[in-house]
């Protein structure tokens, strides 16, 4: 007669004493990285919670000063354009016009280049534009700027051979240009 009990116990001992290779940590690491990546991307992709009330942009200058800026800018319409210019006698380029008006009316000296103006003050939504705000054209790296004077109009020094002038944001040329507004 065959002793099955003995054979089973020998097989069991062999199985229990046989060395198995340690499981690879790679699948567990990949699973952890995948879960981490999914959670990170989900956090980046989630939409911001809507605000119950729109944020109002505070200003370092008063409403009266902002209106004074607009009136002074309007008074400079017709002044010749000059690259690098920042005086009434010598003419203005767009950032020189902005610097001159802000410096003489409210004692604020904005940066000298349009690229630097894009980081000056605070961003303003189109619906909240007020007189005295800056309008900068050209997208992520603006190349032109002016002073908003109300009713969809702005004063700027457009180009060589031209004069400081008043234009409309919804005009044929400017309505096709991407712009941002800044408030000091």
- Alpha carbon 141 to its chain centroid, in Å, reads 10
Question: Six-digit token pair at 162?
Answer: 């031209």
Residues in the chain: 184
Is residue 156 among the annotated active site residues?
yes
Maximal CA-CA distance, the chain: 123
Question: Six-digit token pair at 38?
Answer: 């999914």
Catalytic residue, from 6, 44, 72, 94: name it: 94
Catalytic residue, from 15, 44, 72, 144: name it: 144
Is residue 94 among the annotated active site residues?
yes
Q: Tally the C-alpha atoms within 13 A of residue 109's C-alpha that lie toward its C-beta.
A: 2
**Active-site residue list:** 94, 144, 156
């Amino acid at each position: 007669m065959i002793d099955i009990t003995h054979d089973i116990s020998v097989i069991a001992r062999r199985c229990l004493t046989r060395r198995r290779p340690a499981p690879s940590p790679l699948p567990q690491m990949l699973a952890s990285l995948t879960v981490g990546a999914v959670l990170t991307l989900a956090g980046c992709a989630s939409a911001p919670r809507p605000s119950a009330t729109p944020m109002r942009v505070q200003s370092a200058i008063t409403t009266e000063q902002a209106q004074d800026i607009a009136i002074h800018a309007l008074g400079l319409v017709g002044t010749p354009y000059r690259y690098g210019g920042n005086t009434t006698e010598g003419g203005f380029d767009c950032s020189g016009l902005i610097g001159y008006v802000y410096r003489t009316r409210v004692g604020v000296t904005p940066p000298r280049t349009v690229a630097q103006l894009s980081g000056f003050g605070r961003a303003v939504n189109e619906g909240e534009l007020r007189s005295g705000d800056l309008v900068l054209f050209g997208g992520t790296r603006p190349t032109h700027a002016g002073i908003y004077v109300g009713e969809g109009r702005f004063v700027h020094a457009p180009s060589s051979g031209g004069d400081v002038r008043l234009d409309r944001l919804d005009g044929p040329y400017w309505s096709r240009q991407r712009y941002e507004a800044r408030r000091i």
